[in-house]
Amino acid sequence: MIHCEDLVKIFKTDDVEVVALQGLNLTVEQGEMMAIIGNSGSGKSTLLNILGGLDRPSAGRAVVGSWNLLKMTKEQLIEYKRKTVGFIWQNNARNLVPYLTALQNVELPMVIGGKADRAYAKRLLEAVGLEHRMGSRLTQLSGGEQQRVAIAIALSNRPRLVLADEPTGSVDSAAGERILDIFRRLNREMGVTIVIVTHDLSVADKVDRVVAIRDGMTSTEWLKREDAEASPRENGTVAGQDGVRFGDRHEEYVVLDRVGRLQIPQAYLEAMNVTGKAVLQFDGRTVTIGPPDAAPAAGEREGGGDDGAGDG
Ligand SMILES: Nc1ncnc2c1ncn2[C@@H]1O[C@H](COP(=O)(O)OP(=O)(O)OP(=O)(O)O)[C@@H](O)[C@H]1O
């Protein structure tokens, strides 16, 4: 569904250039529900805005379905945003018209797209648990309820991909959990691919996969274990590669790019006292990275073919 390769985004202001994405690789399968985490400024929103057609990449490859996001014309971009992708923000005021009812809000994008379908709008509001609030104006709804209207709106044009930027950021944890459960149901029942950008580590339990972005590149990935439902629940705790660990319910992987490059966490480099150069040793199965003084002296080497075993 989504394929990003060596994706670069550079923001240029008068005299500064900010490299927000520096060769990011990411593949998301059709029907997957996944989350992207990362520190502030790591490039999460930049990526989401590119995938949503709100911003253009500077270089690389970004394909969503049959759309090439680097080569689309303005007209194609409008069609892409209308038909393929739905967007949910933390601040749902961007999606909603306060003086319209919940139902009218969900119908609005359909009307704009030329295909009003009241029955489908009602079905969506039922799906997000708002069947009893369809006639309420937005100002009469709580933050969590408004966010659920925003989810229904994002689905109103039957997109194949939904992008959510901090969808649980402005609601309490019970409402947040409910929103994630709704995502999961829509994902399972409608087959919508869902990508969630978040700081909320509890999201990990609700998605198939979590990918961390560090300095504009994907660095670490956690896959939910198949038997996760059976093991005890743990929230994200500080540890692991990106300062995050999800306990026994997830397998953690470092992400390698197409040519074998990977990111080593700064904390590991500092602990090893490695700056510019490191020593790489390969025992036939495992690669070990260490400080230059860990290199075996020439005489100690035993003809093992570790030289040139890829770059780190
Ligand atoms: N329009 C812009 N002009 C210039 N720089 C920008 C622009 N948008 C983002 N940036 C810069 O790009 C980098 C990545 O920003 P981005 O908003 O994608 O990070 P983020 O991971 O979403 O952060 P947060 O979690 O705080 O929302 C930051 O250094 C940011 O200052």
Q: Among 19, 44, 196, which is best to mutate for testing ligand 1, by the most ligand atoms less than 8 A from CB?
A: 44
Separation between Cα atoms, residue 150 and residue 95, nearest integer Å:
6
State pTM to two decimals.
0.82
Q: What is the DSSP letter of 58?
A: S
Q: For ligand 1, say whether the CB of 163 is within 6 Å of any of its atoms.
A: no
- Note the pLDDT tens digit of each residue in 257-296: 878 888 887 778 888 888 878 888 888 898 888 888 766 6
Check if the beta carbon of residue 73 is closer than 8 Å to that of residue 65: no
Strand partners, 200: none
CA dihedral 142, 148, 149, 154 (to 10 degrees): 150
Residue 18 CB neighbour total at 10 angstroms: 13
> Between 295 and 2, whose confidence is greater?
2
User: Confidence class of residue 5 from pLDDT cuts 50, 70 and 90?
Assistant: very high
DSSP state of 137: B
Q: Write the CB contacts of 223 (distance below 8 Å, at least 6 apart in sequence).
A: 208, 209, 250, 251, 253
Q: Could you read off the pLDDT of 176-208 as tens digits, one per residue? A: 888 888 889 889 988 999 999 988 888 878 898
Cα of 18 vs centre of ligand 1, distance in Å, is 9
Average pLDDT, the chain: 83
Q: What is the per-residue pLDDT for 174?
A: 80
Alpha-carbon gap, residue 152 to 145, rounded angstroms:
11
Q: CA 147, 153, 157: angle at the middle one, nearest 5?
A: 155
